[in-house]
Structure 1
Amino acid sequence: MINRKNKKLIDEYLASRKDEVSPLSISLAETHLRLLLEFADETYFLDLPKRKQTFAQYIKSPEARRDGKEEKLSHEYSRKVISDAKHFFEWLRDGKEYPEITARFLKSFRISKESRDDEDQELYALDELLKIIATPCYTTLDERTQASCVFLFLSGMRISAFLTMPIKALDLEARTVKQWPSLGMHTKLGIKATTKLLNIPELLEIVRKWDENVRGVLPPDGFWYAPLSPLTGEIDPNAEVGEYRDAGFRKDLAAFLSKASLEYKSSHKFRHGHIRFLRDKATDVRDLEAIAKNAMQTLSTMLNYGRMSKTEAHEEIDSLCGGTVPQASVSRNGKPDQATINWVLTHLMKEQSGT
């Protein structure tokens, strides 16, 4: 049973942040903090420091899942949930001045690196995108979902920005996207940037066809991820679009991937695939800087996207020791020299220390 005083505190916390972050961020935080409410159960938040099991331990256990699956929540999702919970308790300590929230208690809101390293990184690779574009489309919904998958891979955009992207933000001839909050786009932390699409002709052709379709029906400020009529299934220029569209997108994505005989992974994994695709082609410092800047990401975070699987890591070690990498593994165009490696390590150390 949910403790009512706990629910009241979370509602007050979310209300205090409405002027600081986007509505989507508030919605996500509310979802994450729901898990904190369930963990606390009838225990008042200020009494949680006395509990033997920490919230981080709970999140990394199968009991935290609400979908009936037995496996644990992914490392990345767990990290976001724990981060939001820690931010909430920091607000209780600083904003409400509760001495029960100690530094020692706050330190428990972290997730071990070992749990991340035990997982193989999920992403959408280029060969999966080729299967997606080879899958027949029989409806406008199919065409929209197919084009969306391709666009997310080519752009590396976050789903919140993509679903709020107006048609006028995209210049296909220049292969650029104006990820500008002033155009109504929900970018992370309200950051503004003009980013570049990958130049993969087969994929760009799918995007171009959908782009021509939506521009023929909707005005420039209409959504590129166009609303469809529930009656006709066609693009509806008069439809009222809800503020949160990600749940519907997830449903449509799962259905289309099933048709393509592909495993469902979250939309964020297109971003991981985009970054991994470019990183595998990087040969020097400038390449890495460009990838991070185009992804609107810090270098240290970017290097965590699209990490190697255990198999790929083992094959790479064999290659470095003079062995032969099997044909099925990911190939690279050249290797970074020692100067590049040293630069990256120094840059990461500076980011970690905040200097």
Structure 2
Amino acid sequence: MTADDAAPGDTRGPEILLCPDSFKGTFAAREVAAALARGVHEAGGRPVVLPLADGGEGTAQALLDAVGGVWLEVTATGPLGEPVPARLALLTDGRTAVVDVAAASGLPLVAREDRDAERATSYGTGELIAQAAREGARTVYVACGGSATTDGGHGAVQAVHAGGGLRGARLVVLSDVTTPFEEAATVFGPQKGAAPDAVERLTDHLHRLAAGFPRDPRGLPRSGAAGGLAGGLWAFFDAELTSGIDAVMDAVGFDDASRRAAVVVTGEGRLDDQSMRGKVVSGVVRRAVGRPVYVCAGQVALPEHAVREAGLRAALVTPTLEDLVRAGAHITRMHVGRHGDGTEQGAAAR
């Protein structure tokens, strides 16, 4: 765990655990946490920084920030077959690697006008997995978020085989969705540029792939993540399919950190009715037992009663880094005791 703490032996103020997700498209999780930490420190608290991710884009960065390691820069095959610069994380234990599917097979790598869900391949993700195995990784986390593909993992499986196989490495596929393999095109295809007729063709293709796989992923929860990539890796390599947020929280030692903290602060770009369904906020609320949990978000689309019902003490609207600094200070002062009655105060609180 990395921490932005007060000096060793400093016992002033409460310990505040800062464990946000990224504000996608705006701030990385570590930027959000750093801004909150400034406010906590200024208000007399002891910030502990522990950025999180839900198994989607940014998971490799979150784990690298939390436990240490290095980036391995490579050239991989992009979604439409072109070479793209990509990277994977090799964690400090030397035995664990993290591959973001978005690094080589991500939707942001394709211009909007060029998106082609039927053509897009996951081959580059397979190249990264094979590279991790060649580097000696014994466990490879594959974070399934932000993909451009709906190829059922066909490309990735080909690339792993071409790259020398897994060499005994274990695959753990992380996702925040429970969509089964055969529904991947219906659920995710439109956002990848697939028109209704293309969704139908892709669905037929997924069914044909599944029928020819070593084992059939249809009906298996989470197998539809990343356009069926999760199901392909499960079928060919016995990959474990699991909740992204829980795996990340386990890896970074969230439970121990939350037990030591007086207050827990999480965050994401938009707090809405999806936030409590496998996202970072839901995991933090579920596992920060007995601790008040606040959330900071660029947008808050939940009414106050829904925020409370979700188990959150309050939601604060924080679209800028300066707002995050102020929020960190505000939350800390509430628990340092400078606002006596402990009620939520300030225009930022919802």
TM-score by length of 2: 0.25
RCO greater where, 1 or 2, for CA within 8 Å and sep 6 or more?
2
More helix by share: 1
TM-score by length of 1: 0.25
Q: Between Structure 1 and Structure 2, whose CA radius of gyration is higher?
A: 1
